[in-house]
C-alpha cells in the first residue's frame, strides 16, 4: 500500500521500475494542479526517463473559472448592499480586464474570504439587510459542500442568500480534450480526490472510447510514481483500462451519499471553461427548487462583456497551458511580464496553477 509520506527507498524502487518498464516515448497527462505542483516539488519530472513527457492538465478550478463569471462576481461585489463571499484563491484572479476581487475590495466592495461554504449561512444571518452571494467555484470535490449549503439555505428560509455557481466537472473536459485530433495524451493520471467522490464509471467509458490507460492517482511522491508506473506498464503492454493507483482513498464507486446530494441540487449543463471554450455538460447548475437561490434570479448580474464573451482581453496563453499544448516556460511572458507577484493569468495566480508551479520550483533553473 502506498502512502502520501516520503519513503526514499520505495520511491527509488518505483523510479527504477519505471525506467525498466519504459522502452518508448510516452506522453502522460496528470489532470490535477495539485499533482502538477507535487510532481515539480518532488523533482519527479527531472528523474523520469527522458522518453516520458508529462503534460499538465486543466485541473485547477481557479484557472478555468470563466472571465465572464469573474466579471459578474466583481460587478456584484461593487454594488452597495451586497456581500460577495469567495475562497481566497479567487481574489487575485483577473477577469477580462486587470481588475480582481481584491482590487474591488480595495475600492470599497464588500468581499469576504470564507473557508467553508456553510460559513455563508452565518454571514447571511448576521446581515439580514444585505444580499450575501457565495461565488461557488470548484470541481466535484467541492460541489457536495455547496449542495449542503443550498439545502440548508432553502430549509432555513434565508431570503438574503444567493449562489453564483461555477462548479465544473472533470470527465466532460477530458472527453473534449481527447476528441481533439491534435491531442497528444496517451495516458491519464486521474485526480484521486475527484474519484473519491465520483467513482470511476465515467473514466471507464473514456478509457474504452479513446483506448488509453487511466490510472486514479494520489498526490504524494510515491503515489504519483505508482500512478506513472501503472500507466507506463499499460502503455507498454498495449492495454487501456482504468486502474486504481490510489486504493488507500479511492474506490470504484466513489461516495454515493455525496453523489446523491449533488444530483439532488445540481444538474449538468454546457459550461464555458476559461481558455478551453464551451464544454458540453462541463458544469453544474442549480435545479428546481434550489434554482431560486441562483444569483441570476436577483436580476443583478451584468451580461458578459464583449471581451469576456469572445475571450478578448486575455493577454496570456493559459488556454494552451491548460490544454497541455504549452509548458509554462515556453510562454513569452513567463517570469518576464508575468510573475507570481504580478500575474497576467490565472495559472500564475492559483496555488494549483501550472505556471505558478514552474515559477516556484523551476524558476531558478530557467
Ligand atoms: S506564464 Fe502567465 S501569461 Fe503565460 S500562460 Fe502562464 S499565466 Fe498566462
In this predicted model, what pLDDT tens digit does every residue of 10-38 receive, in sequence order?
A: 999 999 999 999 999 999 999 999 999 99
Residue 3 has pLDDT above 50, yes or no: no
pTM exceeds 0.85: yes
pLDDT value at residue 323: 85
What are the φ and ψ backbone dihedral angles of 142, each rounded to 5 degrees?
Answer: -100, -15
In this predicted model, what pLDDT tens digit does every residue of 268-298 receive, in sequence order?
A: 999 999 989 999 999 999 999 999 999 998 8
Q: How many residues would you count in the chain?
A: 366
Residue found under cell 444569483: 295
- Which residue minimizes the CA distance to atom 7 of ligand 1? 345
CB 84 within 8 A of CB 120: no
Atom of ligand 1 nearest to the CA of 334: 1
In this predicted model, what pLDDT tens digit does every residue of 29-76 receive, in sequence order?
A: 999 999 999 999 999 999 999 999 999 999 899 999 999 999 999 999
Mean pLDDT of the chain: 92
Q: Does the beta carbon of 345 lie inside 6 Å of ligand 1?
A: yes
Q: Does the beta carbon of 111 lie inside 6 Å of ligand 1?
A: no
- The mean pLDDT of 189-216, rounded to a whole number, is 95
- The mean pLDDT of 173-181, rounded to a whole number, is 94
Q: Which of 314, 338, 346, 351 to mutate to test the pocket of ligand 1 (most atoms within 8 A of CB)?
A: 338
Rg from Cα positions in the chain: 21
pLDDT value at residue 146: 98
Q: Does the beta carbon of 207 lie inside 6 Å of ligand 1?
A: no
| Distance, CA of 189 to CA of 230 (rounded, Å) | 10
CB 1 within 8 A of CB 247: yes
Residue 191 has pLDDT above 80, yes or no: yes
Q: Does the beta carbon of 331 lie inside 6 Å of ligand 1?
A: yes
| Distance, CA of 238 to CA of 334 (rounded, Å) | 37
pLDDT value at residue 352: 86
| Beta pairing class for 131-138 and 214-217 | unpaired
| Distance, CA of 10 to CA of 248 (rounded, Å) | 16
| Alpha-carbon separation of residue 113 from 89, 91, 129, 179, 313 (angstroms) | 9, 8, 20, 38, 27
Q: Which of 321, 329, 336 to mutate to test the pocket of ligand 1 (most atoms within 8 A of CB)?
A: 321
Q: Does the beta carbon of 344 lie inside 6 Å of ligand 1?
A: yes
Q: Does the beta carbon of 347 lie inside 6 Å of ligand 1?
A: yes
Residue 281 cell numbers, joined = 455538460
| Distance, CA of 56 to CA of 82 (rounded, Å) | 37
Atom of ligand 1 nearest to the CA of 331: 4
Whether residue 7 is preceded by a cis peptide bond, meaning omega within 30 degrees of 0, is no
- Kindly give the distance from the C-alpha atom of residue 46 to the centroid of ligand 1, in angstroms, as a whole number: 22
How many Å is the maximal CA-CA distance in the chain? Answer: 66
What is the dihedral sign for C-alpha 97, 353, 358, 330?
negative
**How far is CA 93 from its chain centroid?**
14
H helix intervals, 48-169: 61-64, 67-77, 101-106, 119-126, 143-155
Residue 310 has pLDDT above 90, yes or no: no
Neighbour tally for 196: CB within 10 Å = 19
Q: How confident is the model at residue 159 (pLDDT cuts 50, 70, 90)?
A: very high
**How far is CA 9 from its chain centroid?**
32
Q: What is the DSSP letter of 69?
A: H
Neighbour tally for 46: CB within 10 Å = 11
In this predicted model, what pLDDT tens digit does every residue of 320-335 receive, in sequence order?
A: 898 888 999 999 999 9
- Kindly give the distance from the C-alpha atom of residue 237 to the centroid of ligand 1, in angstroms, as a whole number: 37
Amino acid at each position: 500500500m502506498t502512502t502520501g509520506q516520503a519513503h526514499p527507498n520505495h520511491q527509488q524502487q518505483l523510479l527504477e521500475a519505471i525506467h525498466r518498464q519504459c522502452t518508448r516515448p510516452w506522453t502522460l497527462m496528470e489532470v490535477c494542479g495539485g499533482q502538477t505542483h507535487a510532481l515539480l516539488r518532488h523533482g519527479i519530472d527531472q528523474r523520469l526517463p527522458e522518453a516520458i513527457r508529462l503534460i499538465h492538465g486543466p485541473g485547477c478550478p481557479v484557472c478555468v473559472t470563466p472571465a465572464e463569471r469573474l466579471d459578474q462576481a466583481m460587478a456584484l461585489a461593487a454594488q452597495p448592499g451586497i456581500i460577495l463571499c469567495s475562497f481566497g484563491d479567487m481574489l487575485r484572479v483577473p477577469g477580462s480586464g486587470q481588475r480582481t476581487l481584491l482590487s474591488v475590495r480595495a475600492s470599497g466592495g464588500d468581499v469576504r474570504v470564507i473557508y467553508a461554504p456553510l460559513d455563508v449561512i452565518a454571514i447571511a444571518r448576521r446581515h439580514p439587510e444585505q444580499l450575501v452571494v457565495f461565488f461557488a467555484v470548484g470541481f466535484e470535490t467541492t460541489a457536495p459542500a455547496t449542495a449542503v449549503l443550498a439545502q440548508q439555505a432553502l430549509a432555513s428560509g434565508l431570503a438574503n442568500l444567493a449562489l453564483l455557481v461555477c462548479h465544473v466537472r472533470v470527465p466532460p473536459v477530458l472527453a473534449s480534450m481527447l476528441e481533439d485530433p491534435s491531442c497528444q495524451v496517451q495516458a491519464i493520471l486521474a485526480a484521486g480526490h475527484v474519484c473519491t467522490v465520483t467513482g470511476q464509471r465515467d473514466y471507464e467509458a473514456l478509457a474504452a472510447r479513446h483506448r488509453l490507460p487511466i490510472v486514479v492517482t494520489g498526490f504524494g511522491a510515491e503515489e504519483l510514481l505508482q500512478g506513472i508506473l501503472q500507466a507506463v506498464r499499460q502503455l507498454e503492454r498495449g492495454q487501456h483500462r482504468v486502474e486504481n493507483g490510489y486504493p488507500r482513498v479511492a474506490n470504484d464507486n466513489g461516495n454515493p451519499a455525496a453523489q446523491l446530494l449533488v444530483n439532488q441540487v445540481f444538474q449538468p449543463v454546457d459550461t464555458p471553461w476559461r481558455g478551453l471554450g464551451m464544454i458540453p455538460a462541463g458544469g453544474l447548475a442549480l435545479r428546481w427548487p434550489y434554482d431560486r437561490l441562483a444569483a441570476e434570479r436577483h436580476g443583478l448580474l451584468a451580461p458578459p462583456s464583449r471581451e469576456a464573451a469572445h475571450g478578448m482581453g486575455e493577454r496570456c496563453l493559459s488556454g494552451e497551458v491548460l490544454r497541455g499544448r504549452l509548458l509554462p516556460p515556453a510562454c513569452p511572458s513567463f517570469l518576464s511580464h508575468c510573475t507570481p507577484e504580478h500575474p497576467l493569468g490565472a495559472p500564475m495566480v492559483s496555488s494549483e496553477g501550472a505556471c505558478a508551479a514552474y515559477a516556484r520550483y523551476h524558476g531558478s533553473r530557467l
